């Protein structure tokens, strides 16, 4: 078995870190060794969107960096495909492993599929049922051509079966992003970021936005900022700015009356500390919905749907859409101390990557795979 692990964009890094770790440990402990390497497509390339995460999470330096950078979706996807095909032809992997739902995920999966290389998809089966989201297209297409599909929550099994994926390809292993969170929670507490940003534990909220549907449309962005302004009069807000959002926030002409502090994107450990210390989080990110659920921090998701329903059904997540009235109303409930009971979703216990490697070497130990 020779696996090429693929990463490309920021949310991929916290997912690949525990998998690389589990592969390394497997090879150290057992006689059967798996050959593996790491390819970075370069979809995200800024120091603060990429290198910082390799440093914080101690991910080994990629064996190959395709250096594709930013472009339109078609150009970016095509460029990754052209470069990744050459890597596959040279390295001759038996498998490629892709995570999540970014352009790098589908681009590399498509290349592998045409070369008859087996595809492993980690975080398969999540569905927002909103085909206007680029990620939804990436998810559906990647799952359709994957051979081994690792899922984080049970809703994914129904989604995949509905789309005709055979049950014996699906394995319920838990959530690798949560492996990373649990491993780094204590280390993150040492970060000095709250002092640096003059934040007082429990006395601020954190907001992040980057979805094209929210940040590319000036009318929606203004409506969201009107709500953030209003909330920030009662509770200061920290807003780490994603490069995509920056362009349009700058166009709002600093037209903010509230108490919002903007900062550059934060590294993993600093952001984990900021999130853990906050009263609540407002976001349109997928991963943050999961992380806040495990941290027990209320999360208001500024979207009309989520591909991660377990965070709403069992966790701390509330979908608030993009209208000011609802966003402010839900924030006020939290400020009045009205929060819900929450529990940690099944198998989000820090061992997902170990289960993945166990299944890949076909010796599932205590693994609750759906097809076992």
Decide if residue 103 touches ligand UD1 (CB under 6 A).
yes
DSSP H helices, 92-148, are 103-114, 134-145
Q: Which is nearer to ligand UD1, 180 or 367 (CB)?
A: 180
Q: Which is nearer to ligand UD1, 107 or 194 (CB)?
A: 107
Known active-site residue 40: no
Q: Which is nearer to ligand UD1, 66 or 347 (CB)?
A: 66
Which member of 3, 4, 7, 10 binds ligand UD1 (CB under 6 A)? 10
Q: Could you tell me how many residues of this chain bind ligand UD1 (CB under 6 A)?
A: 18
Q: Which is nearer to ligand UD1, 43 or 152 (CB)?
A: 43
Q: Which two tokens stand for residue 45?
A: 């390339």
Q: Which is nearer to ligand UD1, 49 or 182 (CB)?
A: 49
Quote the least distance from Cβ 48 to ligand UD1, whole Å. Answer: 8
The Cα–Cα gap between 130 and 42 comes to: 27
Contact, 37 vs 19, CB < 8 A? no
CA end-to-end span of the chain, whole Å? 22
SS3 state of residue 71 = coil
Decide if residue 288 touches ligand UD1 (CB under 6 A).
no
Beta bridge partner(s), residue 65: 40
236-265: which residues touch ligand UD1 (CB under 6 A)?
242-244
Q: Residues in the chain, how many?
A: 372
Which member of 15, 40, 41, 43 binds ligand UD1 (CB under 6 A)? 43
Q: Which two tokens stand for residue 201?
A: 């534990």
Q: Which is nearer to ligand UD1, 76 or 229 (CB)?
A: 76
Decide if residue 298 touches ligand UD1 (CB under 6 A).
no
The Cα–Cα gap between 299 and 285 comes to: 11
Segment interacting with ligand UD1 (CB under 6 A) among 4-12, 85-93, 156-164, 196-204: 4-12
Beta bridge partner(s), residue 172: 151
Decide if residue 127 touches ligand UD1 (CB under 6 A).
no
DSSP letter at 164 equals: T
Decide if residue 301 touches ligand UD1 (CB under 6 A).
no
56-75: which residues touch ligand UD1 (CB under 6 A)?
70
Segment interacting with ligand UD1 (CB under 6 A) among 41-49, 149-157, 221-229, 323-331: 41-49
The Cα–Cα gap between 330 and 121 comes to: 35
The Cα–Cα gap between 253 and 235 comes to: 22
Segment interacting with ligand UD1 (CB under 6 A) among 98-106, 146-154, 225-233, 343-351: 98-106
Segment interacting with ligand UD1 (CB under 6 A) among 31-39, 43-51, 291-299, 317-325: 43-51
Strand runs labelled E in the chain: 2-7, 35-40, 64-65, 95-99, 118-122, 148-151, 170-172, 205-208, 237-240, 260-263, 280-283, 299-301, 317-319
For 286, other C-beta atoms within 10 Å of its C-beta total: 24
The Cα–Cα gap between 188 and 232 comes to: 25
Decide if residue 44 touches ligand UD1 (CB under 6 A).
yes
Decide if residue 49 touches ligand UD1 (CB under 6 A).
yes
Decide if residue 51 touches ligand UD1 (CB under 6 A).
no
Which member of 24, 45, 60, 279 binds ligand UD1 (CB under 6 A)? 45
Contact, 170 vs 371, CB < 8 A? yes
Beta bridge partner(s), residue 319: 301
Per-residue binder mask for ligand UD1 (CB under 6 A), 174-213, x = binder: ------------------------------------x---
Beta bridge partner(s), residue 64: 39
Residue of 32, 40, 39 lying closest to 1 (CA atoms): 32
Decide if residue 130 touches ligand UD1 (CB under 6 A).
no
26, 121, 210, 242: the catalytic one is 210
The catalytic residues are 210
Q: In the complex, which residues of this chain contact ligand UD1 (CB under 6 A)?
A: 9-11, 43-46, 49, 70, 101-103, 134-135, 210, 242-244
């Amino acid at each position: 078995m020779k696996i090429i692990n693929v990463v490309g964009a920021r949310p991929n890094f916290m997912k690949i870190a525990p998998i690389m770790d589990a592969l390394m440990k497997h090879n150290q402990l057992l006689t059967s060794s798996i050959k593996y390497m790491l390819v970075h497509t370069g979809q995200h390339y800024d120091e603060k969107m990429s290198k910082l995460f390799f440093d914080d999470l101690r991910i080994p330096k990629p064996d190959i960096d395709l250096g594709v950078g930013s472009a339109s979706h078609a150009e970016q996807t095509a460029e990754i495909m052209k470069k990744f095909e050459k890597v596959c032809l040279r390295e001759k992997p038996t498998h490629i492993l892709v995570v999540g739902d970014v352009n790098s995920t589908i681009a590399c999966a498509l290349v592998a599929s045409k070369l008859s290389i087996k595809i492993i998809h980690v975080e398969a089966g999540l569905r927002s049922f909103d085909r206007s989201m680029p990620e939804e297209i990436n998810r559906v297409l990647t799952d359709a051509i994957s051979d081994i599909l690792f899922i984080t929550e049970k809703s994914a099994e129904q989604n995949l079966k509905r789309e005709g994926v055979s049950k014996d390809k699906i394995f319920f292993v838990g959530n690798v992003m949560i492996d990373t969170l649990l491993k780094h929670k204590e280390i993150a507490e040492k970060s000095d970021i709250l002092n640096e940003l003059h934040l007082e534990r429990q006395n601020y909220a954190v907001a992040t936005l980057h979805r094209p549907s929210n940040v590319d449309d000036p009318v929606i962005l203004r409506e969201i900022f009107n709500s953030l302004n209003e909330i920030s009069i009662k509770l200061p807000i920290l807003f780490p700015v994603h490069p995509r959002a920056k362009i349009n926030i700058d166009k709002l002409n600093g037209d903010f009356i509230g108490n919002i502090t903007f900062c550059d994107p934060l590294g993993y450990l600093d952001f984990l500390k900021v999130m853990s210390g906050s009263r609540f989080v407002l976001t349109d990110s997928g991963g943050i919905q999961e992380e806040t659920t495990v941290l027990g921090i209320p999360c208001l998701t500024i979207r009309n749907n989520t591909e991660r329903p377990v965070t709403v059904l069992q966790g701390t997540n509330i979908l608030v859409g993009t209208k000011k009235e609802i966003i402010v109303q839900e924030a006020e409930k939290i400020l009045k101390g009205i929060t819900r009971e929450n529990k940690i979703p099944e198998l989000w216990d820090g061992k997902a990557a170990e289960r993945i490697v166990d299944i890949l070497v076909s010796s599932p130990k205590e693994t609750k795979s759906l097809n076992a």
